[in-house]
Chains A and B, each alone.
Chain A
């Protein structure tokens, strides 16, 4: 292929991400699943990197979960999204960052719909005005919060206290990256690297010293898939999808998994327990599972934050083997201590998977 042509094709896979001034919206479920992740995002971006990241307590759900579970129509979703944009406009921002992958997919879908059908946008503007007397500008740039950490990955690497290197062997840690389906499978051009070469998490892993694991089912869904899990009768299908991924990655002996979606880390983490209890099989070494982290948690570890302040005690799979490999100091007795240092009591431990 002609070099210039190749460069042109590759440029289609790149994404323009402004360096500062972002309006940030949180996810509905991440704060329940891994509560420190979004807290760490604002902590790292504002206090460590000195960026302007604004958020407001008045924003609501984007409607994504209800939309993907077929309980509300797209027009309702578009009006909810229009209200979110009006809050951004009111705060004086033009760059919109969503913490949730489904929200990101949802906002992208709404903006693309308005681009294709301007008359629909006019109707939604009217709906919003009738409903709450609000007006809005569309964001100039739309990003997922992992795009921002990807953008600033080298700034984080420059401040790193622990790299993704096994301190016992000196080898890079082998990390599986799992991208949420709604990041770039729906609108490939909106994600870093598109649907074929998603690079958003690979970039972080490589910048922080780790090695990306490639395995056959790398792009397979984590198994959550909304109705696959929310409809109780489908849960066997959900866990079977996750099982398929773990069977596929097992021979490559990963040290950890990182994800950028709210649902993926939860299901990749919790289903390991269910698989272990159903089949007796674990996928980590010495009877442990494979730790599953969000990219903010991993960034926090790299920057030297206390793992218990990062909420790693809320993971089902024990993270201690990973902390040991990275050389992160931690107090095992403080794992279940509250903010006031009071003991929060120990959870019941799994039978077939080692935990602390």
Chain B
């Protein structure tokens, strides 16, 4: 092996055929509005809890679409609702978080 002075990180390539999307599909049933999310990140930018807790709704939705666990991130939300006020697609993100909490409770 040649040492180039730099290395590779582990690939974060997403294989949608191999991941479990059941959580996202249940969220889509409860909150069809989630389909209109454009991932702009306005919600995360305005999140009070975000800078110190790692909470990001954009990441929550993205991780769900990629079949990844979001429970830890979810527990950091304070449900203040500022994200709902800035969403350019009019998604009720606060309600979306509550629905996700319900999904996790049933799980």
**A residues at B contact (CB < 8 Å):** 216-217, 232-233, 235-237, 239-240, 243-245, 247-248, 251, 274-275, 277-280, 351
Contacts and interface: CB of A to CB of B under 8 A. Distances in A.
B80 interface: no
Interface string B1-44: 11011111101111110000000000000000000000000000
A251 B9 CA distance: 20
Nearest to B10: A240
A248 B14 contact: yes
B4 A278 contact: yes
Instruction: Pick the 3 closest A-B CB pairs, nearest first.
Output: A236-B6, A248-B13, A247-B13
Given A243-B8, A248-B13, 5 more contacts: A232-B5, A236-B8, A277-B2, A278-B4, A280-B1
Contact of B8 (A233, A240, A248): A240
A335 to B, nearest CB: 24
Contacts of B6: 232-233, 235-236, 239
A217 B4 contact: no
User: Which secondary structure characterizes the binding site on chain A?
Assistant: helix
Interface in B39-94: none
B15 A216 contact: yes
Contacts of A351: 2
Nearest to B16: A216
B4 A274 contact: yes
B2 A240 contact: no
A243 B2 contact: no
B11 A243 contact: yes
A277 B1 contact: yes
A235 B3 CA distance: 13
B9 to A, nearest CB: 4
Interface residues of B, number: 14
B102 to A, nearest CB: 29
B8 A278 contact: yes
A351 B13 CA distance: 26
Nearest to A250: B13
A100 B15 CA distance: 32
Nearest to A233: B6
Nearest to A234: B6
B2 A216 contact: no
Contacts of A245: 13
Nearest to B2: A277
A279 B14 contact: no
Contacts of B11: 240, 243-244, 247
A2 to B, nearest CB: 19
A183 B7 CA distance: 29
Nearest to A245: B13
Contacts of B1: 277-278, 280
A272 to B, nearest CB: 12
B7 A278 contact: yes
A239 B10 CA distance: 11
Contact of A275 (B8, B9, B12, B13): B8
Contact of A236 (B7, B14, B16): B7
Contacts of B5: 232, 235
Nearest to A251: B15
Nearest to B6: A236
A272 B16 CA distance: 24
A244 B4 CA distance: 19
B9 A236 contact: yes
Given A277-B1, A277-B2, A278-B2, A216 B7 contact: no
B80 to A, nearest CB: 33
8 contacts: A216-B14, A235-B4, A235-B6, A236-B6, A243-B11, A247-B13, A277-B2, A278-B7
B72 to A, nearest CB: 24
Contact of B14 (A217, A235, A280): A217
Contacts of B8: 236, 239-240, 243, 275, 278-279
A217 B9 contact: no
